[in-house]
Amino acid sequence: MTVVTSPSGERRPTVIADDIHLTYKITGKFAQRGGVVALARAVTGKTSPGMREVKAVRGVSFTAWEGEAIGLIGPNGSGKSTLLRGIAGLLTPAAGAVYTLGDPALLGVNAALISTMSGERNILLGCLAMGMTPEEVEEKYDDIVDFAGIGEFVSLPMNAYSSGMGARLRFAIAASKAQDILLIDEALATGDAEFRQRSEKRILQLRERAGTVFLVSHSLGVVRETCDRAIWLEEGLVVMDGETEEVLDAYESRHDPKKAAARREMRAAEQAREAAEQARGADAKAAG
């Protein structure tokens, strides 16, 4: 990854994706496409397994700026998680490039914590791995445990946790450090309502500290609450990139038209109510 420096000295770009293509190569028995391959192998007598490519991201470009929280939305399999992994530098682009200012930290439900070790040890090792000093870890420790809401479980091995508890602990560890670029994959979906609220607040705080947050979520509500920009992907391509409300409205119109119509009605009613209130206020002022 290459570091981009600010030409203007003002708001700086933190991530630039330049026509990035991300492809998975599947080899071995998983690459076989059912009977056709089996028949071909029977005919040719070849035993070497085939190889198949999945073009998960097929030419995506955008520039992300300091202080932005960007929601990646799209149906299942549209390439959201793959793009996030590309930004994190975990996948090498087949074509194009990603440039980042600072180190991106990927926080996902699969973030590597060690299930046979206690929450305590995982907090220590996770924080050290993120570059904190032992003193910093000590300082943050209680906050992380509180934020994760795992209480006494912290002293037990993580394989005794429910999947929600594990996900909350992962989020709490990753969000304890002010990251330049924080990438969050569906982590919020696993928490209960109260934890979601706390996480949303945390994302807003991270944004205030001038970091850039990318959030992959199936919950348009969470994206609405936390992101000021949304990128809509379909089949590995960007359909729309812009202000959250606009993108989500367009997305809902395509995928959930009833909900989109209901939301438009609600908004119109709200605007009418505000206009009536303003008019009443103006009347009262004129009369008084």
Ligand X SMILES: Nc1ncnc2c1ncn2[C@@H]1O[C@H](COP(=O)(O)OP(=O)(O)OP(=O)(O)O)[C@@H](O)[C@H]1O
Applying CB under 6 A, which residues contact ligand X?
Answer: 24, 26, 54, 56, 74, 76-82
Nearer to ligand X, 82 or 190 (CB): 82
Angstrom distance (rounded) from CA 231 to CA 248: 9
Other Cβ atoms less than 10 A from the Cβ of 233: the count is 25
CB of 233 to ligand X, least distance (A): 6
- Nearer Cβ to ligand X, position 53 or 277? 53
How near is the Cβ of 22 to ligand X at its closest, in Å? 8
Q: Write the DSSP assignment of 11-63 as a string of letters.
A: S-EEEEEEEEEEEEEEEGGGG--HHHHHHHHHHH---S--EEEEEEEEEEEEE
Rounded to 5°, the CA angle 231-236-241 comes to: 20
88, 184 Cβ separation under 8 angstroms: no
Pull the structure tokens for residue 266: 């609600």
Minimum distance between the CB of residue 16 and ligand X, rounded to whole angstroms?
A: 20
CB of 201 to ligand X, least distance (A): 25
Collapsing DSSP to helix, strand or coil, 269 comes out as: helix
Q: Which CB sits closer to ligand X, 82 or 122?
A: 82
**DSSP one-letter string for 118-176:** BHHHHHHHHHHHTT--HHHHHHHHHHHHHHHT-GGGGGSBGGGS-HHHHHHHHHHHHTT
Query: Nearer to ligand X by C-beta: 13 or 236?
Result: 236
**Shortest separation between residue 129's beta carbon and ligand X, angstroms:** 23
* DSSP character at residue 102: S
- Phi-psi domain of 149 (left: phi exceeds 0; alpha: psi -120 through 50; beta: other): left
The Cα 100–Cα 10 span in angstroms is 17
Smaller CB separation from ligand X, 136 or 234:
234
Give the shortest CB-223-to-ligand X separation in angstroms.
13
Q: Which is nearer to ligand X, 49 or 77 (CB)?
A: 77
Q: Which is nearer to ligand X, 58 or 140 (CB)?
A: 58
How do strand 212-216 and strand 13-27 relate by DSSP bridges?
A: unpaired
State the minimum distance, in angstroms, from the CB of residue 76 to ligand X.
Answer: 3
